[in-house]
Structure 1
Amino acid sequence: SKAATQQAPGRFRKPKLAQQNGRFAIVTGGTRGMGFETAKHLARLGMHVVIAGNEREEGAAAIWRIQEEDFEFAYVDLTCLKSVRQFAQTFQNRGLPLHVLVNNAGTMMLPERRTEDGFEFHFALNYLGHFLLTNLLLDTLKRSGRQGRCSRVVNMSSATHYAGVVLLGDCPNSYTSLGAYAQSKLALVLFTYYLQEQLAAGGFPVTASAVDPGMVNTPLYDNLWSIAQALKKPVAKILFRTPAQGASISVYAAAASELEGVGGCYLYNGHRKQSSDTSYDSELQAELWKKSCELVGLQEA
């Protein structure tokens, strides 16, 4: 399968990117790993970056590590709908623009568990929290963009989405952590395409794309069982990208001039790639959007 044949990391050479002075970005899960590297690169291009995460100490440490860049940390727990709403409201109350939203936070390979809102954990953190956050910030993104200088939504997916089956947040009778993770990553691609279609239909200066960073040696793999962990360490040096290499693709999606006004992409190694056949199912896209609005308490737009 496509998911099983994920390539060893060919070195993606990010083109020279134009300065992004005066632009504002939010990166979820930006306190460590690929999110931290994404935030760091965007800040070095001149963006003011809000690192959004659920670990205040990690956030403070991340800001301290790069004191010369234009960073700030803001707390949000993406598994808690109330927390997502509070974060979005606090940001909007500041009256700041928003030009880039990188939905990067995620988890994988967890034992079966539910959030306090009652959702399967991978689905809640990787997808549903980002669905709500994006919708709550969408008006700000629309106001901040303009034709020829669109705002951008970048959703972090994975090759595992090729094996995903969307069950609208419910787990099958035989729960597997990989199946739950794959579902959440497929949901992100379906969401990306439906969102882009609505934005284009309305003529709004916002684009949405999904990114596949490849296999990246990040804390996501901390939940692998101990034998696999031991095997992963030597393999990671050969097959896995570093967090900086993985982040280069999300930075490219967020800032590359050749992607200006171009949305609805699934990007791997800086190139548009076919995502799974299921991800192009327009009826499933619409069904997932409608169900997601119900789950998070949004009126469907």
Structure 2
Amino acid sequence: MWLLSVLPAMVRVYLCGIRVLFYQLFNRSFTLPVLPKQNGRVAIVTGGVRGMGFETARHLANLGMHVVIAGNEEEEGLAAVRKIHEEGNEGKAEFVFMDLASLKSVRQFVQKFKNRGLPLHVLVNNAGIMLVPQRKTEDGFESHFGINYLSHFLLTNLLLDVMKKSGEQGCCSRIINMASATHYGATLNMDDLQSRKSYSAHGAYAQSKVAIVLFTYYLQEQLTAGGFPVMASAVDPGMVDTALYDRLCGPAQIAKKPVAKLLFRTPAEGASTAVYAAAASEMEGVGGCYLYNGKRMQSADITYKADVQADLWRRSCALVGLKEA
């Protein structure tokens, strides 16, 4: 019974991956255009100590932004900041501790940030885990759902007031949520969001990513309805050669190294669409979209269902202790 419950999710996720690899085989990685300077603007990048998160933080700092790297590995975080500063970037980088496995830590991070009185123009919700064994966060959530989605849901909502004040018409604040092609193969079980009835690492990861896309679209609807100068987009980086893929199973793990060298994007290439969404003039006033390889794409059909978006939002508010807007 356990194998039957796991196999469909695993197959769906790997089929999504194969489709992405075929695309990357025949299509060049998105090349960033010349981006306008971002002097005076402030960004937060979660998981910015390595991989795509680091490349995103690095590029935004190079454009002149003050970048706050949020993560739970202080030594690596401080090393990332030193590296960015040593490159002589025009902006500023700093590391601030935040553990996405703890809602208390998320709240403490937000309070510390707000106490400084800084504006916030860009929030890149990049951090995540993939295909880890079944475990719970400090608050009792399934780890993929809790870390990849719920903590970023809380973080975004707690920072929205600052972002609304920081943006202005013609120069909106921007929220970039890191999605994944695995969301196309996800099933969203509203009665078992914590994957307690039947756990599959592949299914749990895919579910966390479809939740992120649903959240992005519903959030944008709210922002647009309120006339707020904040835009939210979901970004799919493609398959990128980072440590996230170290937990692939069996033959996929064996094939990973040669396939990654040939077909995977580099972390810098994987970060390019997130940087584009955060800083490109062409993205001014554009939100509620799914971006892949620098282009707007259709996401999974379920992500456009308004009732599903609203239901997930209500449940998420209850889980993290937020009042519905």
- TM band (smaller chain): over 0.9
Q: Which residue of structure 2 lines up, in the alignment, with residue 220 of structure 1?
A: 244
Which residue number in structure 2 is paired with residue 27 of structure 1?
45
Q: What TM-score does the superposition give when structure 1 sets the normalisation length?
A: 0.97
CA distance in 1, matches of 2:164, 2:187: 31
Superimposed CA distance per residue, residues 183-227 of structure 1 (whole angstroms, 9 cap, x where no aligned partner): 000000000000000000000000000000100001111223465
Alpha-carbon offset, residue 291 of structure 1: 0.5
Q: Aligned to 1:10, what secondary structure does the other structure show?
A: coil
Which has the larger share of helix?
Answer: 2
Partner residue of 1:124?
146
CA distance in 1, matches of 2:97, 2:189: 29
1:156 match: 178
> Which amino acid is the alignment partner of residue 264 of structure 2?
F
Query: Following TM superposition, by how much is the alpha carbon of 1:256 offset from its aligned partner in structure 2, in angstroms?
Result: 0.7
1:119 and 1:299 mapped to 2: Cα distance? 19
1:46 alignment partner, SS class:
coil
**Distance in 2, Cα, partners of 1:120 & 1:15:** 39
Does residue 47 of structure 1 match 2:65? yes
**Residue matched to 1:187:** 211
Deviations 1:51-105 (A, max 9, x none): 0001011101111222233100000011100000000010001000000000000
Letter in 2 for 1:181: Y
Q: Which runs of 5+ in 2 are unaligned?
A: 1-11
Match runs of 1:128-277 below 5 Å? 128-168=150-190, 169-171=193-195, 173-225=197-249, 228-277=252-301
CA distance in 1, matches of 2:185, 2:65: 36
Whole-angstrom CA distance in 1 between matches of 2:47 and 2:183: 20
- For 2:81, which of 60, 63, 69 is the aligned residue? 63
CA distance in 2, matches of 1:92, 1:222: 36
* In structure 1, C-alpha distance between the alignment counterparts of 2:306 and 2:251, rounded to whole Å: 41
Task: For 2:82, give the aligned amino acid.
Answer: W
Match of 1:85 in 2: 107
How far the C-alpha of 1:176 sits from its partner, in A, is 1.1
Letter in 2 for 1:292: S
Give, in whole Å, the separation in 1 of the partners of 2:168 and 2:234.
Answer: 21
Alignment partners' CA distance in 2, 1:26 and 1:280: 27
Rounded to whole Å, the distance in 1 between the matches of 2:249 and 2:186 is 22
The residue aligned with 2:19 is 5
Report the number of matched residues. 301
Return the offset for 1:19.
Answer: 0.5
Asked if residue 113 in structure 1 is aligned to residue 135 in structure 2, the reply is yes
Deviation at residue 50 of structure 1 after TM alignment: 0.2
Identity %, equivalent residues: 67
Comparing 63-72 and 280-289, the one that deviates more: 63-72
Q: Per-residue deviation at 1:11?
A: 1.8
Residue by residue over 1:86-135, the C-alpha shift from the partner in whole angstroms, topping out at 9 and shown as x without a partner, is: 00010001000000000000010111111121100000110000000000
* SS class of match (1:200): helix
The DSSP-based 3-state class of the residue aligned with 1:155 is strand
Q: Distance in 1 between matches of 2:324 and 2:68?
A: 28
Give the superposition deviation at 1:172.
5.4
